[in-house]
Chains A and B, each alone.
Chain A
Amino acid sequence: MPKRTDINSVLVIGAGPIIIGQACEFDYSGAQACKALREEGYRVVLVNSNPATIMTDPEMADATYIEPVCWQTVAKIIEKERPDALLPTMGGQTALNCALDLAREGVLEKFGVQMIGASNDAIDMAEDRDRFRKAMDEIGLESPRSSIAHSMEEAFQVQKKVGFPTVIRPSFTLGGSGGGIAYNREEFVEICERGLDLSPTNELLIEESLVGWKEYEMEVVRDRNDNCIIICSIENFDPMGVHTGDSITIAPALTLTDKEYQVLRNASLAVLRKVGVETGGSNVQFGLNPKDGRLIIIEMNPRVSRSSALASKATGFPIARVAAKLAIGYTLDELSNEITGGTTPASFEPTIDYIVTKVPRFTFEKFPKADSRLTTQMKSVGEVMAIGRTFQESLQKALRGLETGMDGLNEMINLESEEAFEIIQQELRSPGPDRIWYIADAFRYGLSVEEVFELCMVDPWFLVQVQNLVELEKGIKGRELDSFTRDELYALKRKGFSDRRMATLLGAHEEQLRALRHKLDIHPVYKRVDSCAAEFASTTAYLYSTYEEECEAAPSTRDKIMVLGGGPNRIGQGIEFDYCCVQAAFAMRADGYETIMVNCNPETVSTDYDTSDRLYFEPLTLEDVLEIIAVEKPKGVIVHYGGQTPLKLARALEAAGTPIIGTSPDAIDLAEDRERFQQLIQELNLKQPPNATARTQEQALELAQAIGFPLVVRPSYVLGGRAMEIVHHEDDLKRYMTEAVRVSNDSPVLLDHFLSDAIELDVDAVCDGSEVVIGGIMEHIEQAGIHSGDSACSLPTYSLDPAIVERVREQTKQLALGLKVKGLMNVQFAVKGNDIYVIEVNPRASRTVPFVSKACGISLAQVGARCMAGTSLAEQGVSREIVPDYYAVKEAVFPFAKFPGVDTLLGPEMKSTGEVMGVGRTFAEAFAKAQLGAGVILPRGGRVFISVRDGDKPRAIEVARMLREMGFEIVATRGTKETLKQAGIACEAVNKVAEGRPHIVDMIKNGEVNFIINTTSGKRAVSDSSQIRRAALQHKLTYTTTIAGAHVTAMALQQIDQDSVNNLQDLHKELNG
């Protein structure tokens, strides 16, 4: 059946901000869907609040709404755009939930919008645990023994039936959030209470634990003719009990016979048919008892998912693209398999001749108080995928691709220490983020495969592979570098050992090993991912390295630009950088270059095989990148767009003769090097907060006196404010220097005078070496001291004197020219009174580039890439800064709800996972929308609790007055109350937690407070008030921890009902008009 002609326009709902459990995979799927629909001639209307996505580029849809993904807003968009159909399966759980809301609220019916890709009923059946279980019973698939509970009493009754350990899964939550495994009554109560609260339907599934069972996933696609295909099977390395997003996973499944695999296949197809997924992709998860093969169905997702992004990258079969085409009426046999050049149809099952390993990336170091044990609730923030011809090669490539300082199976613990065995047992039994490395340590310690298996229940097939690698490492240790024969070294490279890991084992340098390897003429070859195991010729250059005989890279002789990507997502380096890399690839391709992308993050648009002319799915280490460069010989390499990952390689790449284009690695270094940078600032007659660099603790204490407290302290060369703190006293500094960082000559600590209550600015600019154009000037809402990635900001500025902004403009230009920037540059300023301080300069793509681009209607990243390639700004026709008449506000989104116990207080260390953008005619409207997009429901009235530190009291008066005028009642802690009283503002006093009951937390728990303003500083006050913030988070109360945030929230409340919806295309027309 050809495509449907009864619909002309389709509304696609995106996933909103990046959060744990929902990352850039939905930009990948959404972007594919938009592309697929538009090439069929449909008008595409898109809504997604996340500006850092490729899908929200104005070229991707006909009408792009960067608006909150909530039914009320989407209803307005529907009313305005009148789409014929709604595709809800591309934006994760967020989009599905929004679509269900729209259906329930009658919006779809009212405007005659048809849901395509998944029906209301199918979504509901897959999501409603009880219905799903009954449906599975009907097709003869066993579910874990379980029952639904809506209260604690019901929960206890179910628990009695299923026993301990007990798995608790709240319904309708993201990434299984709020769930967990309880081994005792206390844990059971804690998890159930949290789960009941988090579930929008106050519903829990309590079930028998399958801990230790094997876990498999099947990616299935079905069309309206009931043609069903399996795209990929995935086997989890970590047995049941660890969320699949937190598990190491392998494709294809390796430990099933054909008979067992076909049982899984048939079951998966039966599930899709039963649930009623008529078109599109779904993911079905199974548990299997390794002792007798008993099969249990765990769950299914009637939409594209993280796993389908992985399966797409693992096989070369673009699930989201195909799913979008099926949704509009095509059948699989009418679509072609594009990776083979369209010679074969999409109605086949991909087969692969390599092993794919995905390893999650965690950031527990950002949340020291979070529980790092892995459970059924997802905690990882990113992932890396690697392709190798064997499991060992693919695993080792993935481990070094993580960029956590590991080059392979590095040692975790000192095996000689007394606690060694205890630690190993603990880490194997109760998995944390590093279990794979502890398994290697267990073998080093001398445990047998049986013993390790008993502890971790990981399939012995995988354990033996790890054990073998550990044994090979033992054989490397202690040898002389020159003693390796070609055969020996080649055999080790075939097992995936990195040069670095082998060098470390030999006590040598990576360069020495590389030199030896090259002397012995050992180089990787590149094989193609083609979806068919070479049965058909592939026209697509989707490549991975391995050590084999035949290389299929077949590089061309065209002029090429290579873009190095950002690797796995992490806090501080996420989708924004992938956005920039993709833009660079687009621009260079448009300018006639052949484009080459190198990246290892399966969630991204950059690793879509048609984003660039050639894709190398490889770890971003020096070794891996140099080998690709040797094969491709690019004319230029862009290292500035992928965040810290490629930037770290810049110097070494340059030294190896790589033609890095754009701002020179030396200029990057100048900007990062405090002492060199200080010199530049002085030469330019600019101002910096007093600062210094300390290489020892003594030196730090001495320099601190000269600079003056408070101080911002941090290690050099970090992104996202890792280990950054504000210290107010010498004692704090001492503690910081001893506990928080290891200071040395190679890794000095930077000290900056902290500018209290200054306003921070972020400026993005682009320079071609002689001209500078400002991309955007953003005023932070939170005052200086909050990491720029965590702070909301407004473009244009909303409170600054234009004269100051003009000076900021001038200084930015001076800095760009001073640093000889060729490409993008980001500057952070702090404004205090009339003084402008330069906080830092980064001559590279910044996190704010996509936001600025969406707000100002110009792709800064593309302009920057063209400057790098030698096209001047004048030649590009880019000559002036665009300052919109409307306001765009960016707001950060935090993972606190996933990490119970972590303080929600913002500080200099970045903690947000994603961002949203709100656009409005006034600053307040834009801010209100950004809040809504971030999931914050601003209170329309009721009671506000105010407790602020002394420094904030003057501004608190103004905020309180605004809130009073809107009819809020005010309660305050004693000190704040006094201040407000004196200012003539009526308010009631409430006890702090330490002052006796009833106190503020009691009020929160009783639902007597609607809005919390709580600013605090100093260790004691912070810990005293942390219970307030925790209670606020738990009860989903709107809270703010900065006085500036409180102020703009009050402003937004004044205008909350004046919001309209705007699409980017119309907004950008105003700019050019």
Chain B
Amino acid sequence: MHRSSRFVYLPEKNVSQPALLALEDGSLFWGVAIGAAGETTGEVVFNTSITGYQEILTDPSYSKQIVTLTQPHIGNVGVNSEDEESGGVAASGLVIRDLPLTHSNWRAEEPLATYLERHNVIGIADIDTRRLTRILRDKGAQNGCIVTGERIDEAAAIEAAKGFPGLKGMDLAKEVSTNQTYPWEQGVGRWSTSPIKHAADGHRFNVVAYDFGVKRNILRILVERGCNVTVVPAQTTASEVLAMEPDGVFLSNGPGDPAPCDYAIDAIRAILEGTEIPMFGICLGHQLLALACGAETEKMKFGHHGANHPVQELASGAVMITSQNHGFAVAEASLPATLRATHRSLFDQSLQGIHHTEKPAFGFQGHPEASPGPQDAAFLFDHFIDLMQQRCSA
């Protein structure tokens, strides 16, 4: 990757092609193409985070989603190799108001536009993203289609949008997961901001991390907190995991509907029932943990996607501002006696955290690893460390 000049100047519209975003409800948005040319479909969602477009694009949880960012200028700080949450762009498309003429940041390595092209991501700019957001808010997440080029057929685009099957019932975790087991060694490095909790005697915990679409910052934080992290594919069985003699099992975030992921649900249930190994689930991992305990999940209207969501810890009443990215949620009413609600969203009172009443297992719906977003919930990782510590000491 080349380090670009501080003063990149992208002449406006010289090379730009028209583009169209069509929604299944028939709404049309004409704009200009950014990134790769062609056609893409997916579930259109909006994210209200002001910062972190690179992290959002590379978050595997956005698989099969076209993401619109409500912050109007996207691309201000370019992209860099440090801020990637996975090996590539996961989102199916990007919708923004304005791609700035240049980027400016001391860590920038490449403009967003060429990055999108390089990763073959189709995007559209110059549209009224607020109008789009209001449609998604009122009607719920919509399936959509972005088409670029000089000759665009509006009706065909709407049909394409309608043709997208939707995420309900869609098992994407196994698709985005790694297909082989690998160790993760990189830590948070210079971005470490919170005091780090290590095991008292310098012991390193062996953590097996299920990759359902894992964000790298989760792995970095685990390493930072003294874990030897082994990442395993989504369909790894319980016995395969237990054979690795883990001190803890981590269930990652990921895209799609958790309900059809029976392989994961079975594995989690087996580990939970057969062992006392601490388990921590984030986002999809949290939903899978709930399903394994007998709770139910449901599709939300337009989900939670942003970096400003207040979540209350029920025991203390404390509020933390969290990063959120989910379109499915655990129905609190469905919680079995073995699961205790620990956190709730103050935006809509939806369930945000659970803890097993008998086993050292817990889940969190938001993203304590942040990236992007506030790091208020990072201490949840400490709880995971504590649980492993307790089990070791016992």
Contacts and interface: CB of A to CB of B under 8 A. Distances in A.
Contacts of A537: 137
Interface residues of A, number: 61
A449 B318 contact: no
Contacts of A552: 134
A389 B131 CA distance: 12
Nearest to A471: B12
A395 to B, nearest CB: 13
A351 interface: yes
A534 B310 contact: no
A595 B51 CA distance: 37
A411 interface: no
B215 interface: no
B48 A261 contact: no
B97 A390 contact: yes
B346 A344 contact: yes
B4 to A, nearest CB: 12
A449 B131 CA distance: 34
Contact of A389 (B97, B310, B318): B97
Interface string A345-364: 10111111111000000000
A233 B191 CA distance: 20
Interface in B1-34: 6-7, 9, 12, 29
Interface stretch (B36-44, B72-80, B242-250): B72-80
Interface in A647-676: none
A719 B320 CA distance: 51
B317 A225 contact: yes
A293 B131 CA distance: 36
A230 B103 CA distance: 25
Given A351-B49, A464-B9, A227 B319 contact: yes
Contact of B106 (A292, A464, A465): A292
B237 interface: no
A266 B375 contact: yes
Contacts of A252: 50, 71
A391 interface: yes
Contacts of B12: 468
B48 A533 contact: yes
Given A227-B319, A347-B346, A527-B130, A293 B106 contact: yes
A332 interface: yes
Contacts of A352: 50, 71
Nearest to B309: A348
Nearest to B129: A353
A350 B193 CA distance: 23
Contacts of B187: none
Nearest to B77: A257
Given A262-B375, A349-B308, A390 B106 contact: no
B88 interface: no
A550 interface: yes
B296 interface: no
A482 B131 CA distance: 31
A258 B306 CA distance: 12
A989 to B, nearest CB: 67
A265 interface: yes
Contacts of A550: 128, 130-131, 134
A347 B83 contact: no
Contacts of B375: 262, 265-266
A690 to B, nearest CB: 60
Given A449-B7, A548-B130, A265 B374 contact: yes
Interface in A507-566: 527, 532-537, 548-550, 552
Interface in A233-284: 233, 252, 254-263, 265-266
Nearest to B12: A468
A353 B168 CA distance: 29
Contact of B137 (A254, A265, A266, A534): A534
Contacts of B142: none
A568 B374 CA distance: 35
B390 interface: no
B211 interface: no
A291 B73 CA distance: 22
A390 B73 contact: yes
Given A254-B73, A257-B83, A333 B319 contact: yes
B372 A255 contact: no
A357 to B, nearest CB: 13
A230 B12 CA distance: 34
A262 B370 contact: yes
A352 B48 CA distance: 8
Interface string A561-588: 0000000000000000000000000000
A254 B193 CA distance: 22
A390 B29 CA distance: 18
A427 interface: no
A535 B101 CA distance: 28
B312 A449 contact: no
A460 B308 contact: no
Contacts of A389: 72, 97-98, 130
A534 B319 contact: no
B51 A258 contact: yes
Given A255-B105, A527-B130, A533-B48, A349 B319 contact: no
Interface string A451-490: 0010000011100110010000000000000000000000
A450 interface: yes
Interface in A407-464: 448-450, 453, 459-461, 464
Contacts of A107: none
B91 to A, nearest CB: 16
B137 A535 contact: yes
B371 interface: yes
A453 B80 CA distance: 23
A449 B106 contact: no
B63 interface: no
Contact of A332 (B52, B97, B130, B319): B319
A525 to B, nearest CB: 8
Contacts of A623: none
B54 A257 contact: yes
Contact of B83 (A230, A258, A351): A258
Nearest to B82: A259
A229 interface: yes
Contact of B80 (A257, A265, A465, A548): A257
A226 interface: yes
B77 A351 contact: no
A290 B106 contact: yes
B102 interface: yes
B252 interface: no
Given A257-B77, A258-B52, A535-B48, A353 B347 contact: no
Given A461-B100, A534-B133, A256 B106 contact: no
Nearest to B308: A349
Interface string B299-329: 0000000111110100001111100000000
A841 to B, nearest CB: 48
A64 to B, nearest CB: 36
B104 interface: yes
A313 to B, nearest CB: 17
21 contacts: A226-B318, A227-B320, A255-B104, A258-B49, A265-B374, A293-B106, A345-B346, A351-B306, A351-B307, A353-B97, A390-B97, A391-B73, A453-B7, A464-B101, A464-B102, A533-B71, A533-B133, A534-B46, A534-B137, A548-B130, A549-B127
Interface of B: 6-7, 9, 12, 29, 46, 48-52, 54-55, 70-73, 76-77, 80, 82-83, 97-98, 100-107, 127-131, 133-134, 137, 191, 193-194, 306-310, 312, 317-321, 346-347, 370-375
Which 10 A/B pairs are nearest by Cβ-Cβ distance?
A: A258-B52, A258-B372, A461-B104, A550-B131, A533-B70, A349-B308, A258-B51, A549-B128, A353-B70, A548-B128
Given A262-B370, A389-B72, 17 more contacts: A225-B317, A252-B50, A252-B71, A257-B105, A258-B370, A260-B105, A331-B319, A333-B310, A333-B317, A345-B347, A349-B374, A353-B97, A353-B130, A464-B102, A527-B130, A533-B48, A552-B134
